[in-house]
């Protein structure tokens, strides 16, 4: 009887639910406007609380109401890409039907603060680009000089040199340009902190066993840089112990270097080579399976071969390199250095390694554990967990581990702040667009990574690849300490190297969403049909990359086979020698 009662109760509940669904369940979703154009029959949205709902087109049907955040009537002129909205309606028969769009935050007319380098300017229109965004002085607004320019006033952007730092406040216009009502400028001067950072970098970083090779003629004709050779073979060394091998493929090295110089803004190229402010940019490919790229403050930009193999076209490579150039031109490493120096007293990680090395057997697990967990933030690794993993390691292994961690962390690029990453994205998009590349490919790149990180088998394969690379003999000068460090420490290190370009699904989704919204707001009127993808040349380069990989694999397999063949011969020779000695 109880079972029968329960059955009828469930049937009644299901019937009532279906009745409710048929009548309509109230719904409300938060979203950001990506596109909304005349004749205003549909709107493209990025849903913020519906997972995976990016660039979703919603029809604007008759009876559709547009309201402000208080619910009072508004109009289409108040909506623009970048606006925050709420979609209100009902779910009827499992389908969403909207009847109201409520504007919760306008993009047009919002107050904006800019801080960054003035990268491009048009003296005729007065429009310039700072912090990856277009700005124009409001009539009557003067730019105040700061630092060595204190006391100076400038009434036009014509009077400001490219490459200087500016701070601006203003209001966003309908076309996305910021009308500036308050501005200041200071010279981008080399200072004592730059000297400290470069010395620290010089102590930690060097090239080994390199050969300068002329770029092939067919590639040199396209080359827009200020040098006529690139590097072949050898490796890059960090902290005196961590090594990253350069890809031994001159065609790929030249191809990537060509793109890098094409992306550099003119003000960077125009700085004389003999002044300390000059950043001598150079671009290299590392033979490394991890999806990663990184830049050093001295202008060295590195792209891993593993990342190159995952990209679809040249525009996506431009997005990667442009982002890294943005970190260097906006001095993000300098900001990070000052922050670390303030927090730790010693910003040079080499000093930490040296301090632990000098202690030798006196170095406690706590010393090393604090260092290895210092940048984990609110993460999962506690000092106690790390101490436990270090318990049975000899002092020299702990010292070596710190040195290896320093090098790996230096290339992981995971230490830049969220603001730094967003600024590098904004600036990188500008570099792409000015060089003729389609900035939408920056978002497409992260959409691809978002899909990859949602695939469990791919994540497992990449984690294994990272662990294999970290425990390889080629990574470390001498015996690699991770070989005997245990699964826990190897796992934590692999998390570090995978935490930037090939990162967690939530982080990849956030980067895609941010870039998607930047393109919608900053390039709303752009003619993308005239922009470059260059998929065919890129795929030709990838074939060269894969061919080189196949050759390397075959060489390794041949060496292993030869070694296996030699072992029995050596054993036979050994036995023969022993027999002779007995006689």
Which of 164, 186, 208 terminates a domain? The answer is 186
Range of the domain at 129: 111-186
Mean pLDDT over 193-219 rounds to: 59
Q: Answer yes or no: do 121 and 181 share one domain.
A: yes
Paired tokens of 9: 């109760």
Query: Which residues, at least 6 apart from 567, have a Cβ–Cβ distance to it below 8 Å?
Result: none
264 within domain boundaries: yes
Residue 265 or 340, more confident: 265
* Nearest Cα residue to 32 out of 43, 42, 41, 22: 43
Residue 580 lies in a domain: no
Residues 512 and 436 in one domain: yes
For residues 37 and 165, membership in a common domain is answered with no
pLDDT at 265 over 90: yes
In the predicted model, what is the mean pLDDT of residues 133-152? Answer: 93
Question: Is residue 302 assigned to a domain?
Answer: yes
% of the chain at pLDDT higher than 90: 30
35 with 83, same domain? yes
Residues 171 and 47 grouped into a single domain:
no
Of these ranges, 54-68, 102-116, 197-211, the one predicted with the greatest mean pLDDT is: 102-116
Q: Same structural domain for residues 264 and 392?
A: yes
Is 291 a residue whose pLDDT tops 70?
yes
Among 130, 155, 186, identify where a domain stops: 186
Rounded CA separation 408/286 (Å): 14
- Residue 229, pLDDT > 80, answer no
Alpha-carbon distance 108 to 174, whole Å? 5
Over the stretch 17-40, which tens digit does the pLDDT of each residue have? 555 445 568 999 999 999 888 888
* 5 or 265, which is more confident: 265
| Per-residue pLDDT tens over the stretch 315-339 | 999 999 999 999 989 888 777 767 6
Q: Beta strands of 209-367 (E only): which ranges? A: 211-214, 229-232, 235-238, 242-245, 282-286, 293-295, 300-304
**Token pair of 334, please?**
């300098």
Given this model, what pLDDT does residue 211 score?
56
State whether 37 and 151 are in the same domain: no
> Which tens digit of pLDDT belongs to each residue from 334-375?
777 676 665 554 434 444 444 444 444 444 556 556 655 655
Radius of gyration of the CA atoms of the chain, in A: 29
31 lies in the same domain as 161: no
Average pLDDT over residues 77-102: 89
C-beta neighbour count of 77 within 10 angstroms = 10
Q: What is the mean pLDDT of the chain?
A: 77
Q: How many domains does the chain have?
A: 3
Please report the DSSP string for 391-414 in residue order: TTS-HHHHHHHHHHHHHHHHHH-T
Assess whether pLDDT exceeds 80 at residue 203. Answer: no
- Does 424 share its domain with 490? yes
- Is 205 found in the same domain as 259? yes
In this prediction, residue 119 carries a pLDDT of: 94
- Res 15: pLDDT: 52
Buried b (16+ CB within 10 A) or exposed e, 116-145: bbbbbbeeeeebbbbbbbbbbbeeebebbb
Output the domain CATH number for residue 74: 2.40.50.320
519 in a structural domain: yes
What is the DSSP code (8-state) at residue 246? B
Tell me, yes or no, if the pTM score tops 0.95: no
355 part of a folded domain: yes
Look up residue 234 and give its two tokens: 């050898």
* Rounded-to-integer distance, Cα 268 and Cα 250, Å: 26
Q: 551 in a domain, yes or no?
A: no
Identify whether 581 is part of a domain.
no
- Determine whether 435 is exposed, middle or buried from the number of CB atoms within 10 Å of its CB (0-12, 13-18, 19+): buried
pLDDT of residue 435: 96
Pairing of strands 133-137, 178-186: parallel
Residues 62 and 131 in one domain: no
Which of 186, 208, 243 corresponds to the end of one domain? 186
- Comparison of pLDDT for 373 and 174, the residue scoring more: 174
Poorest-pLDDT segment among 43-57, 103-117, 129-143, 372-386:
372-386
Structure tokens at 280: 């001598």
Tokens of 294: 């990184």
In a domain, 559, yes or no: no
In a shared domain, residues 334 and 203: yes
Does position 275 have pLDDT exceeding 70, yes or no? yes
Please state the three-class secondary structure of 518-554 as a single string. HHHHHCCCCCHHHCECCHHHHHHHHHHHHHHHHHHHH
Q: What's the mean pLDDT in 478-496?
A: 77
Interval 417-421 mean pLDDT:
84
For residue 470, the model assigns a pLDDT of: 80
pLDDT, one tens digit per residue, over 518-574 is 898 888 888 999 999 999 999 999 988 875 554 444 444 444 344 444 444 444 554
Residue 517 parent element (H or E) = helix 505-522
């Amino acid at each position: 009887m109880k079972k029968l009662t329960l059955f009828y109760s469930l049937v009644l509940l299901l019937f009532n639910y279906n009745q409710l669904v048929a009548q309509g369940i109230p719904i409300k979703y938060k979203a950001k406007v990506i596109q909304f154009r005349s004749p205003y029959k549909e709107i493209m949205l990025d849903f913020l609380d519906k997972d995976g709902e990016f660039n979703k087109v919603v029809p604007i049907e008759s009876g559709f109401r547009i309201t402000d955040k208080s619910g009072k009537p508004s109009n289409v002129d108040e909506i623009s890409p970048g606006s925050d909205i709420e979609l209100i309606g009902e779910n009827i028969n499992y389908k969403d039907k909207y009847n109201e769009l409520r504007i919760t935050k306008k993009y047009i007319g919002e107050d904006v603060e800019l801080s960054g380098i003035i990268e491009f300017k048009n003296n005729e229109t007065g429009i310039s680009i700072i912090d990856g965004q277009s700005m124009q002085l409001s009539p009557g607004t003067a730019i105040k000089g700061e630092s060595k320019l204190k006391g100076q006033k400038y009434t036009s952007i014509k009077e400001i040199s490219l490459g200087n730092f500016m701070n601006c406040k203003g209001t966003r216009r309908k076309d996305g340009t910021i009308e500036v009502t308050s501005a200041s400028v200071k010279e981008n001067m080399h200072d004592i902190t730059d000297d400290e950072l470069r010395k620290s970098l010089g102590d930690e970083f060097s090239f080994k066993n390199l050969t300068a090779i002329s770029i092939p003629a067919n590639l040199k004709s396209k080359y827009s840089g200020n040098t006529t050779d690139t590097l072949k073979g050898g490796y890059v060394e960090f902290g005196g112990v961590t090594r990253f091998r350069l890809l031994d493929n001159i065609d790929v090295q030249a191809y990537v270097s060509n793109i890098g110089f094409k992306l550099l803004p003119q003000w960077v190229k125009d700085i004389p080579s003999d002044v300390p402010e000059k950043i001598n940019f150079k671009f290299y490919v590392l033979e490394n399976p991890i999806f990663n790229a990184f830049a050093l403050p001295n202008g060295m930009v590195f792209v891993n071969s593993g990342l190159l193999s995952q990209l679809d076209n040249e525009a996506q490579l431009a997005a990667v390199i442009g982002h890294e150039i943005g970190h260097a031109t906006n001095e993000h490493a300098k900001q990070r250095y000052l922050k670390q120096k303030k927090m730790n007293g010693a910003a040079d990680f080499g000093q930490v390694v040296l301090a632990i090395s000098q202690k030798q057997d006196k170095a406690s697990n706590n010393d090393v554990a604090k260092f290895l967990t210092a940048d984990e933030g609110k993460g999962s690794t506690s000092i106690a967990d790390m101490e436990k993993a270090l318990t049975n390691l000899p002092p020299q292994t702990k010292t070596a581990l710190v040195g290896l961690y320093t090098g790996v962390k230096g290339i992981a690029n995971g230490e830049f702040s969220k603001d730094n990453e967003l600024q590098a994205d904004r600036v990188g998009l500008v570099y792409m667009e000015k060089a003729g590349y389609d900035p939408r490919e920056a978002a497409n790149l992260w959409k691809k990574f978002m899909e990859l990180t949602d695939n469990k088998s791919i994540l497992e394969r990449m984690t294994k690849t990272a662990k294999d690379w970290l425990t390889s003999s080629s990574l470390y000068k001498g015996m690699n300490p991770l070989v005997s460090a245990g699964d826990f420490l190897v796992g934590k290190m692999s998390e570090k190297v995978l935490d930037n370009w090939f990162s967690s699904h939530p982080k990849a989704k956030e980067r895609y969403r941010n870039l998607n919204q930047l393109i919608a707001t900053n390039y709303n009127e752009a003619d993308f049909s005239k922009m470059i993808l260059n998929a065919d040349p890129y795929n030709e380069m990838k074939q060269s990359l894969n061919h080189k990989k196949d050759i390397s694999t075959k060489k390794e397999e041949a060496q292993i086979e030869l070694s296996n063949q030699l072992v029995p011969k050596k054993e036979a020779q050994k036995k023969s020698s022993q027999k002779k000695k007995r006689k």
